Amino acid sequence: AGKVRSQTPKIEAKPKKGIIPRLRNRYNFEKRVLRAAQETA
């Protein structure tokens, strides 16, 4: 058991680029909603 994994070459994790989708959704939400709120105020 576990013999294949030990033979597999180690692949380095790719560095993440860009913001995570959840954060991006929140940013878009704030931009859309708060900007609309400011215009009406």
Residue 24 in tokens? 């991006």
Is residue 36 one of the residues assigned to a domain? yes
Is residue 27 one of the residues assigned to a domain? yes
Is residue 3 one of the residues assigned to a domain? no
pLDDT band of residue 4 (cuts 50, 70, 90) is confident
Note whether 29 and 37 are within 8 A (CB). no
How many domains is the chain partitioned into structurally?
Answer: 1
Is residue 22 one of the residues assigned to a domain? yes
- Read off the pLDDT of residues 9-33 as tens digits, 9 standing for 90 and up: 888 888 877 778 888 888 888 888 8
Is residue 23 one of the residues assigned to a domain? yes
Q: Which domain does 36 fall in, by range?
A: 17-41
The pLDDT assigned to 19 comes to 73
The pLDDT assigned to 41 comes to 64
Is residue 32 one of the residues assigned to a domain? yes
Tell me how many degrees the CA angle 2-11-15 measures, rounded to the nearest 5.
Answer: 135
